[in-house]
Structure 1
């Protein structure tokens, strides 16, 4: 689920694949929700001010968060988790703890 929001954008828009994507609104008060691996090469990280991300990676493509699509992708990921364990503790759309000491496949 690393780079989750950026990965959802790249999955849904083929033109973004392989390019530095930053999920954030542009502006002085915005922070980065996620950065693609391509943007991370420039030092862009989640929770960083968007203006700093823009300075670090001027060619980054800024995409505003789409929480409806992200929630759908998160739900699909949780369905995959549930195939392996019932012990899931969700934290947010892009984070969850899974206890896989004893999985359904064992």
Structure 2
């Protein structure tokens, strides 16, 4: 059982040593009601296996898709997710807050 971000980062390191492509997504900024705090991590391998969370499940799918592109092309990305209350459920960040997530390839 993974108990925290340190364990998640160690697992990402292990994946990399095994020769997998790996990206890490980190919450770098939050506004309003955000499901995960700044510094939260999601690690993703080239096959879409992931550990951790950047949003409690709200936008993980979009972050994983971007992470696969980052693994492929090596170009980091800054993602921003946020919604007005009336569109919260449709877009995915139902808490009504906003988050910025930095995604980079692990070398």
TM-score range, shorter chain: under 0.3
Higher RCO (CA-CA < 8 Å; seq separation 6+)? 2
Q: TM-score, normalised by structure 1?
A: 0.26
With normalisation by structure 2, the TM-score equals 0.26
* Greater per-residue strand proportion: 2
Considering fraction of residues, name the structure with more helix.
1
Which is higher, the Rg of structure 1 or of structure 2?
A: 1
